[in-house]
Amino acid sequence: MTKVLMVCLGNICRSPLAEGILTSKVNPAHVFVDSAGTAGYHVGHPPDPRSIAVAGKHGLDISNQRCRKFNKSDFDEFDLIYVMDKANYSDILTMTSNQSQKDKVSLLLDVTNMGQSEVPDPYYGGDEGFENVYQMINDACEVIAASLNND
Ligand code: 4NP
C-alpha cells in the first residue's frame, strides 16, 4: 500500500480536490490518499462549497471529507507528501527532523512539465479560479496515478 498525502493551507479548497481527484484515478487496494492543511482554521469542516461544486461538475463527490491539520506523525504515516505552493513547502519542511522526511515532500505541479510550480490559492477569488485549480491538479494527478498504478 502506498500512502499519499495532499497538503494546502486550509485543507478546504485545493488539497480536498487533490485527494478526491487522485483517489478517483488509483486502485484503492494499492493506494490510500488523504489530505491535510498546514493551518487549523477550518478543522472538522467539509470542503469549501466551491470545491465541492467544481468536483461535482467533474463527477466527483468530495462532500464527505473533513478538514484536519497536518501533524508530524504524518511523516511516518505517508510515503509521498504533495504540497500546493511554496509557502506550504516551507511550512512542512520546517517540521521535518531528518532527510528521509524531507525527501517525501514535493510540490504537486513539479510532477508535470506545465512550467508552473504552484497551485494558486483560490479562496479569495471567484468560481473560475476553482475550475483553473481543478484542471492543474487533475493534470498532476494523472501523472502521479500513472506511476503509482504501474508499481
Ligand atoms: P486552501 O485555501 O489552502 O486551498 O484550503 C484556503 C482556505 C482557507 C483559507 C486560506 C486558504 N483561510 O485563510 O481561511
pLDDT tens string 119-136: 999 999 887 899 999 999
Domains and CATH numbers, the chain: 2-150 (3.40.50.2300)
Q: Is 119 in the pocket of ligand 1 (CB under 6 A)?
A: no
Tell me if 9 sits within 8 A of 37, measured CB to CB: yes
The rounded distance, in Å, linking the Cα atoms of 16 and 120 is 14
The single residue of 13, 85, 121, 141 carrying the catalytic annotation is 121
Q: Whose CA is nearest to atom 8 of ligand 1?
A: 10
16-28 pLDDT per residue, tens: 999 999 999 999 9
Is residue 30 within 8 A of residue 106, CB to CB? The reply is: no
Give me the pLDDT at residue 7, please: 98
151 has pLDDT over 80: no
User: Mean pLDDT over all residues of the chain?
Assistant: 96
Phi-psi domain of 127 (left: phi exceeds 0; alpha: psi -120 through 50; beta: other): alpha
The answer to whether the pTM exceeds 0.75 is yes
